[in-house]
A = this chain, B = another copy of it.
């Protein structure tokens, strides 16, 4: 209706790009423009080229995941609770999360640096949660990080495929992580 905020052309292009590129990394700018419902020239007016679009996507993904993580953890009373709420929030942003992890960030130093910083924050939170008894003392932090990431994506796929609601997928992912890593050790 009158009060509905129509997404800008810029946002429509980003949204379409996430969806198209996650499904088909080889997709052309023409494919993305078509999916966004805009002309290719319009895409070129908003972005300086394919690399510029990819960079904008990565920055948007980083902004959204950072904001969602901060918002999710602001009322958490423990690191364990924070990790749970962040997991839940990330499951909604699975496409952004996956885009960041799998699109080559090597060619954008500033994206890589921010990605590494967020990784370090996650590792710090994991080590604090371990002290709270969430993870086995001998479980490698690399495995915890891997499992955390993959369960986010598994949850996102459950929601996307219609096999579970967001709340259900979050519960499944959290229970699996919590129970699974309490005993997992080398």
Residues of A in contact with B (beta carbons under 8 Å apart): 23-26, 104, 139-140, 142-143, 146-147, 149-151, 153-154, 157-158, 161, 163-164, 168, 171-172, 175-186
Given the known A-B contacts A140-B163, A143-B154, A150-B154, are A183 and B172 also in contact in the complex, defined by CB atoms under 8 Å? no
Selected from B142, B157, B176, the residue in CB contact (under 8 A) with A184 is B176
Rank and list the top 5 A-B pairs by shortest CB-CB distance, nearest first.
A180-B180, A176-B180, A150-B150, A146-B154, A25-B25
- Which residues of B lie under 8 Å from residue A24 when comparing CB positions? 104
Report copies per complex: 2
Residue from B26, B140, B157, B183 in contact with A26 in the complex, judged by beta carbons closer than 8 Å: B26
The one of B158, B171, B177 that contacts A146, using a Cβ cutoff of 8 Å: B158
Most buried by B among A104, A140, A149, A153: A140
Query: Given A25-B25, A150-B150, is A175 in contact with B185 using a C-beta cutoff of 8 Å?
Result: yes
Q: Which of B146, B161, B176 contacts A142 (CB 8 A)?
A: B161
* CA distance in complex: A142, B171 (Å): 14
Judge whether A154 and B147 touch: CB under 8 Å: yes
With the chains together, A163 CA to B146 CA distance in Å?
11
A143's contact among B104, B149, B158, B185, by CB below 8 Å, is which?
B158
